[in-house]
Amino acid sequence: MTGTAVEAVSVLTGWGKGVRALPPDAARSAAGRAVIPLGRPALEGERFRRATRECLLGVAAVDALLRASETSREVVKGSSTALIYVTGGAYGAANHAWVVADTARRGAVAGTLHFPYTAPSVMSGEVAIEFGLTGPYGILIGGAAATIDGLWQATRLLESGRCERALVLAVETFEDCAELYARGRWLVGRPLVEAAVCALLVPGDLRTRYDAPRAPSALETRARTRAGETLACGPLIALALGREDGATGSIGVTGEWRGRRAGLYWH
């Protein structure tokens, strides 16, 4: 096998678990709410006591993926699994808290345990620690177009033999700094829907094509209509929707961010 395949996708959103929880029309279902939040997952373990909500959401999304695909933790553990993490702004909550705490000179709050969590790489780092992932990584910052870039990088790693499987994880949270997103209305749509989504890519028979289409794919439009604004999670939700329709082979997803649209097609 010289190509790749999408083995499974897990979806957690403010609407619930899985794509079946998505409403037909997110805007209508939001009923004027700016943010549809996703609760803090109740994960056991001392280490998770101090971890931020976005870290726990990443862990929960990977855990859901492994359960859905009946893949054991032992299989993904080690250096043969790549982890590609994408987010448009999930680091915002920790950054916001850090600045506010510093401004208020609340030294005890803005302390040693809090600062590392302002780094986007720590979110994927927590996932790597939890699942014992020691393979190649990619950490991309941006909206849906960045996720297409991340998916493409995962296929490159697989095709070049640098890993045996790749997890592409996207997490977005908005509630903690909703006020900032309200100021950047021209950049993001409504409603803002918190999400944590993960796809498992494996070697397969399908080749991929990466390009810059002008128009959104039908799946991109559908994902946005049903899920709302999920930034980097959008293309992975679109993948999940496509698979829900029964597409296990050829499939294409697109994503747009800051005026640039990227597309990836398995064929």
Partner 1 sequence: MSQRAEPVSLVAAGVVTPFGADLDAFWSGLITGSDGISMIERFPVDDLRVGRGGEIKKLRPMPGARRVGCRATQLLLAAAADLLARSPISAEPERVAVVLGTALGGVGELERALAPGGRSRHAVGALYDSPAHALARRLGARGPVLTVGAACAAGATALGHGADLLRADVVDVVIAGGYDALCRFVMRGFDALRSLTRERVRPFDRRRSGLLLGEAAALVMMTREGATRGPRLGRLLGHASASDGSHIAAPDANGRGLELAVRSALEEAGLTPADVDFVSAHGTGTPLNDRIEAEVLRRSLGRRAAEIPVNSIKASVGHTMGAAAALEAVMCLLAGREGIVPYTLGLEEPDPACELDHVIGAPRAARPRISLSTSLGFGGCNAALVLEAVDR
147 backbone dihedrals φ, ψ, rounded to 5° = -70, -35
User: Measured from the CB of residue 17, what is the shortest distance to partner 1 in angstroms?
Assistant: 26
What lies within 8 Å, CB to CB, of 263 at 6+ separation is 148, 210, 211, 212, 213, 217, 252, 253, 254, 255
Specify the residue, 34 or 129, whose C-beta has the smaller distance to partner 1.
Answer: 129
What lies within 8 Å, CB to CB, of 121 at 6+ separation is 85, 139
Query: Identity (one letter) of the amino acid at 211?
Result: D
User: Measured from the CB of residue 3, what is the shortest distance to partner 1 in angstroms?
Assistant: 14
User: Measured from the CB of residue 258, what is the shortest distance to partner 1 in angstroms?
Assistant: 5
Count Cβ atoms below 10 Å from residue 27 Cβ, excluding itself.
15
User: Measured from the CB of residue 152, what is the shortest distance to partner 1 in angstroms?
Assistant: 8
Residue closest to 5 by CA, chosen among 242, 255, 258: 242
Specify the residue, 72 or 103, whose C-beta has the smaller distance to partner 1.
Answer: 103
Specify the residue, 19 or 169, whose C-beta has the smaller distance to partner 1.
Answer: 169
Classify residue 259 as exposed, middle or buried by CB count within 10 Å of its CB (0-12, 13-18, 19+). Answer: exposed
Specify the residue, 22 or 61, whose C-beta has the smaller distance to partner 1.
Answer: 61
Binding site for partner 1 (CB under 8 A): 79, 83, 87-89, 91-92, 95-96, 98-100, 102-103, 105, 107, 110-112, 114-126, 128-129, 131-142, 145-146, 149, 153, 156, 160-162, 180-181, 183-184, 187, 210, 212, 258, 260, 262
Strands across the sheet containing 260-266:
208-211, 260-266, 251-257
Specify the residue, 19 or 166, whose C-beta has the smaller distance to partner 1.
Answer: 166
Specify the residue, 56 or 240, whose C-beta has the smaller distance to partner 1.
Answer: 56
CA–centroid distance for 114 within its chain = 22
Residue corresponding to tokens 């803002």:
192
Specify the residue, 40 or 162, whose C-beta has the smaller distance to partner 1.
Answer: 162
User: Measured from the CB of residue 68, what is the shortest distance to partner 1 in angstroms?
Assistant: 22
User: Measured from the CB of residue 244, what is the shortest distance to partner 1 in angstroms?
Assistant: 29
Q: Are strands 137-141 and 35-36 parallel, antiparallel or unpaired?
A: unpaired
User: Measured from the CB of residue 52, what is the shortest distance to partner 1 in angstroms?
Assistant: 11
> What does the alpha-carbon distance between residue 8 and residue 243 come to, in Å, rounded to a whole number?
9
